[in-house]
Each structure stands twice: as C-alpha cells, then as structure tokens.
C-alpha cells in the first residue's frame, strides 16, 4: 500500500494526502500557505470571511505566499443562500483550485463548481451523508468522527468506526478526520481505508496559525479529557474545550435555553477576540478535538508535516513482514 501516493494527492495535485481543516478565524493565509508549501493542502474558512472583499483579500494573500494548490471551505449551515452563491462566484472568479463544502447538502453548487474546473470536497459526519455527497457528484468526501473539533455529528460515532464503514461503500476517495494529529493517526487512517487525512486542532498549535500564544499554551496544557460536546439540544453540536464558559452553556441547555438565549454566549466573535488577543479565553467557546491530549509543543507547519511523513514511513517499515 503506497502511503502517500493516493487518489487524493492525484486529484488535488499535492505531495502528501494531509489537509489542514478550515478553522474559523484562525486558518488564515499564513497557515494555509505554509501547509500547501509543505506538501499538504491548506483550507481558508470562507464562512468567517464575512464580505466578498475579505474573501478575495485572503485568497490573494494566500496566493502571494504559495504557488501550490489550496482551497476554501464554504459552510452551508444556516447561511443566506444568496451569500453562499456570492461566495461561490468569488471562488470561481479567483480560480480557487479546491472548494470544501460542509454543513448542508452540496447539491446546488457541485455542477457549477466542477464546470469551472474546481475540485469539490464535501465534509460529513455520517456514512449516509457521505453516500449522498457521492451521488451529487463531489470529487472527494471527508468523514469526521465525533472526537473531532468543531461541528460534529450528534450520532457520536468515532473515526475508527466511520472510516471502514464509509470505505466499504464509497467509490470516490475518502479522507479521515477527527482524532488525527500525528504519524500514528495517519497510518491508522490509511489502514482503515482512508486515502488522506484532515487535521484541525494540531494545526492550531503551530507557529503559523493565527492564534495567540496564550491559546496555544492552553492547548498544550489540555488533556484528551478536557473537551466536551456543546449545543447538542439546539442541533449545533460542537466539540470544544471544557471551560467554565462551556459548562455555563451546558447548564443553560439543561434548563431549556433556546437558540436565541444561547447565541450571545456562543458567538464566534468571542472566539475571534480571544484567538487574536489572548483575552477572554474564559468567555469564549474554543473548538478543540480530543487529539488535544497529544499536543506537547508548538512547532512550525513544516516540522509537523515532516514529522508525520517521516514517522509514517518508519511505522510502515516496522510493520512490514520479515
């Protein structure tokens, strides 16, 4: 089994099937370009680049930092369809090579994107949604276990179960996400049938990620048991760090709080401020997967990807029969 030469690398034009998940407010041009320059694929978070001008600026800044392929995530959940269409038009005009959709059906956008020569990835949390995305014509699908950061499936099924289930039924290339942050996770995902991996939380603790040093230190200090699911009762399930703020929100949910009650507490602007300034970390929801327990230091993106690649090769050699 070739470790790195897969249909994912061939379709996306990258050296290694390692994708940095689009993390709102912090997966900006410096991180995205660094991942692509190191042989993977970086993704900008389109949903938190609110205006067309912001989206164009970040795309162009990324392109000034790398001549390698990169992509943009387009979140479809609870967003104005007109704004989504505007974003899609910007991505086509800017000739972005890869678009990742997530959160709702990609069906209305797949044909338009593919006609423009754009590769379409779709991110899901269940096998049934992966199969639907395949029917709609996407080129690749990412399936994320509930141990992953940010939006997760309320089904609470782990990556180790989802990947072989999906690999058994899909014909298009499959990318594994959730709980992956080092060479061991990469090799495990490949053994389970994935042709690539998506990594989020681990990239937050890199020098190029737009997160304040205080937040990076918080990630280093956190253990695998220091995350929790938030907003299950209002169908906006997120995995976040277990902070007093997250516990307060959970208590509000237990008491029957509505989405309107919770919105001020869960605002992304709280996280944006905390990530940029290091202030208000105890007043924001901080997305993080259980893989946070594996983070022990801040490294460069190149160091991280090189470690995954060299480590995966070493593991693969060790597993070869005598």
pLDDT on residue 320: 83
Which residue in 24, 33, 78, 99 sits closest to 60, CA to CA? Answer: 33
Is residue 298 included in any domain, yes or no? no
pLDDT on residue 275: 93
Is residue 322 included in any domain, yes or no? no
Q: Are 17 and 105 members of one domain?
A: yes
Domain boundary residue, one of 210, 229, 256 = 210
Q: What stretch of H or E contains 98?
A: strand 98-102
- Mean of the pLDDT values across residues 302-311? 98
Is residue 316 included in any domain, yes or no? no
Q: Are 206 and 245 members of one domain?
A: no
pLDDT on residue 183: 98
Q: Are 165 and 28 members of one domain?
A: yes
The residue length of the chain stands at 322
The CATH number assigned to the domain holding 42 equals: 3.20.20.70
Which residue has 């937050």 as its token pair? Answer: 204
pLDDT on residue 50: 75
Q: Is the pLDDT of residue 291 over 60?
A: yes
Q: Is the pLDDT of residue 257 over 70?
A: yes
Q: Are 204 and 259 members of one domain?
A: no
Q: Are 51 and 69 members of one domain?
A: yes
pLDDT tens digits, one per residue of 110-152: 999 999 999 999 999 999 999 999 999 999 999 999 898 877 7
Q: Are 231 and 114 members of one domain?
A: no
pLDDT tens digits, one per residue of 148-180: 887 777 778 999 999 999 999 999 999 999 999
Is residue 300 included in any domain, yes or no? no
Domain boundary residue, one of 210, 235, 269 = 210
Which residue in 116, 147, 121 sits closest to 225, CA to CA? Answer: 147
Q: Is the pLDDT of residue 78 over 60?
A: no
Cα(177)–Cα(180) distance, integer angstroms: 7
**Between residues 214 and 254, which one has the greater pLDDT?**
214
Which residue in 40, 287, 321 sits closest to 186, CA to CA? Answer: 40
Write down the pTM of the prediction: 0.94
Residue 242 has a CB neighbour count (10 Å cut-off) of: 19
Is residue 306 included in any domain, yes or no? no
Lowest mean pLDDT among 30-39, 111-120, 266-275, 287-296: 266-275
Is residue 262 included in any domain, yes or no? yes
Q: Are 142 and 218 members of one domain?
A: no
Which residue has 């901080």 as its token pair? Answer: 286
Residue 64 sits in which domain range?
A: 7-210
**Between residues 232 and 292, which one has the greater pLDDT?**
292
Q: Are 140 and 29 members of one domain?
A: yes
Q: Are 219 and 206 members of one domain?
A: no
- 219 CB-near residues (< 8 Å, 6+ apart): 201, 204, 205, 288, 292, 295
Is residue 286 included in any domain, yes or no? yes
Q: How far is CA 278 from the centre of its chain?
A: 22
Q: Are 43 and 119 members of one domain?
A: yes
Assign 234 a pLDDT band (cuts: 50, 70, 90). low
pLDDT on residue 292: 96
Q: Are 250 and 147 members of one domain?
A: no
Is residue 310 included in any domain, yes or no? no
Q: Are 134 and 268 members of one domain?
A: no
Domain boundary residue, one of 165, 191, 210 = 210
Tally the domains of the chain.
2
């Amino acid at each position: 089994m070739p470790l790195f030469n897969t249909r994912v690398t061939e379709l996306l034009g990258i050296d290694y099937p390692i994708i940095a998940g689009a993390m709102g407010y912090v997966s900006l041009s410096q991180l995205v370009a660094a991942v692509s320059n190191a042989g993977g694929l970086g993704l900008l978070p389109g949903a938190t680049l609110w205006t067309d001008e912001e989206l164009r600026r970040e795309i162009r800044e990324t392109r000034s930092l790398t001549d390698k392929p990169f992509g943009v995530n387009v979140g479809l959940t609870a967003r104005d369809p007109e704004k989504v269409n505007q974003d899609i038009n910007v991505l086509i005009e800017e000739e972005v090579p890869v678009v990742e959709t997530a959160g709702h059906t990609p069906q209305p956008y797949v044909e338009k994107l593919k006609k423009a020569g754009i590769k379409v990835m779709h991110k899901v949390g269940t096998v049934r949604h992966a199969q639907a995305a395949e029917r709609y014509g996407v080129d690749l699908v990412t399936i994320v276990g509930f141990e992953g950061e940010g939006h997760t499936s309320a089904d609470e099924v782990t990556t180790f179960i989802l990947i072989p289930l999906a690999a058994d039924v899909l014909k298009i290339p499959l990318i594994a996400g959730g709980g992956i942050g080092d060479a061991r996770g990469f090799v495990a995902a490949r053994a389970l049938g994935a042709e690539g991996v998506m990594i989020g939380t681990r990239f937050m603790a890199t020098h190029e990620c737009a997160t304040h040093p205080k937040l990076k230190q918080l990630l280093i200090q956190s253990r695998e048991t220091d995350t929790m699911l938030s907003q299950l009762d209002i169908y906006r399930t997120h995995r976040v760090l277990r902070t007093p703020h997250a516990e307060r929100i959970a208590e509000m949910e237990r008491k029957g709080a509505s989405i309107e009650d919770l919105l001020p507490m869960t605002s992304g602007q709280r996280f944006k401020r905390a990530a940029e300034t290091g202030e208000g970390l105890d007043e924001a929801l901080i997305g993080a997967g259980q893989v946070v327990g594996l983070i022990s230091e801040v490294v460069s993106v190149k160091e991280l990807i090189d470690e995954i690649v060299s480590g995966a090769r070493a593991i693969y050699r060790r597993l070869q029969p005598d």
